[in-house]
Amino acid sequence: MKLAVFGTNGQLATELRRRAPEGVAVTALGREAADFADPGAVRAAAASLSADAIVNAVAYTAVDRAETEEALATIVNGTSAGVLAEVAAERGIPLVHVSTDYVFDGSGDRPWRPEDPTDPLGAYGRSKLAGEEAVRAAGGAHVILRTAWVFSAHGGNFVKTMLRVGAEREEVGVVADQFGAPTPAADIADACVALARALADGADGGTHHFSGAPDTTWAGFACEIFSRSGLKARVKSISTPEFPTPARRPANSRLDCTTLTEAYGIERPDWRAGLDDVLKELDVT
């Protein structure tokens, strides 16, 4: 299978390039080939590629900066994602589009189901929801895969931040009233490849959720990072108001991943095993 991946250096795109299984030839298109700030460039790149399936691993993910750059975030996450989906539909190429728990308002205490009403809290969530709506409107074969709390050995993420501050301080304050599940980028990449193959073979698409297991809090995640890395820093549980940010974060990012397992046999990965792999790659264990 020829798999076109839009994105090269992000956490997911990096893992897609690294983990492509035998029989899957990945062509990665970076900003120089398809700048998602320029929908016309995305259209031209999509119109000329040769592929059996596409994974969109491009996203504007600066959640706080999006509050002052919503127009740009919406072009990258919304308009250009829609253009890619339109060209894919016109050419009959199935698309896997990665989205986020931020399309929900974070209320309640049960995991969010794919069919639950969306109501983003901020600009980033609104931009990602715009992308979802544009992908569906394009009418082609697609899977929208919502995920959360992504981490890897690459780029900026919570694991790397905690390793840095945990080495500098005896105690680190971490939010303990936001719930969700860390998700290794490597497992998201594997899920995207499996979904792309399934779509290319004629499977039904739709919107599904994928996150690690078990559910925890950011403070609980930090405790595991320190414990498994050997850092002696203590985690001080704090509340969301004690760590103010420009963008509001969902209090409940739990995702119900049942439909993904039922439709494609893809199970939730144990994020603790993924964390061990990342720490080993970073050479901190």
Compute, in degrees rounded to 10, the torsion defined by CA atoms 222, 224, 225, 231.
100
Determine the pLDDT at residue 228: 97
Helix residue ranges per DSSP H, the chain? 11-19, 39-48, 70-74, 80-91, 123-138, 158-168, 185-200, 218-229, 258-264, 271-281
Alpha-carbon torsion (221, 11, 36, 145), positive or negative:
negative
Residue 261: inside a domain: yes
* Number of other residues whose CB lies within 10 A of the CB of residue 244: 7
pTM to 2 decimal places: 0.96
Residue 112: inside a domain: yes
Q: Which of 60, 102, 124, 264 is catalytic?
A: 124
CATH of the domain at 91: 3.40.50.720
Q: How many helices (H) and strands (E) does the chain have?
A: 10, 12
Determine the pLDDT at residue 284: 87
Residue 68: inside a domain: yes
| Percent of the chain residues past pLDDT 90, beyond the cut | 98
Residue 141: inside a domain: yes
Q: Which residue, 141, 161, 142, is CA-closest to 151?
A: 161
Q: Is 124 a catalytic residue?
A: yes
Q: Give the residues of the chain that fall short of pLDDT 50.
A: none
CB 170 within 8 A of CB 233: yes
Residue 77's domain spans which residues?
Answer: 2-156+183-212+255-269
Taking the C-alpha atoms of residue 97 and residue 59, their distance in angstroms, rounded to an integer, is 10
The DSSP 8-state label assigned to residue 222 in this structure reads H
Residue 203 burial (C-beta neighbours within 10 Å; 0-12, 13-18, 19+):
middle
Residue 120: inside a domain: yes
Residue 95: inside a domain: yes
Residue 17: inside a domain: yes
Taking the C-alpha atoms of residue 193 and residue 165, their distance in angstroms, rounded to an integer, is 34
Residue 170: inside a domain: no
Query: Tens of pLDDT along 24-44?
Result: 999 999 999 999 999 999 999
Taking the C-alpha atoms of residue 185 and residue 15, their distance in angstroms, rounded to an integer, is 7
What are the residues whose beta carbons fall under 8 Å from the beta carbon of 201, sequence distance 6 or more? Answer: none
Determine the pLDDT at residue 117: 98
Taking the C-alpha atoms of residue 257 and residue 246, their distance in angstroms, rounded to an integer, is 29
Determine the pLDDT at residue 19: 92
Domain count, the chain: 1
- Joined together, the tokens standing for residue 153 give 């050995």
Determine the pLDDT at residue 197: 96
CB 100 within 8 A of CB 147: yes
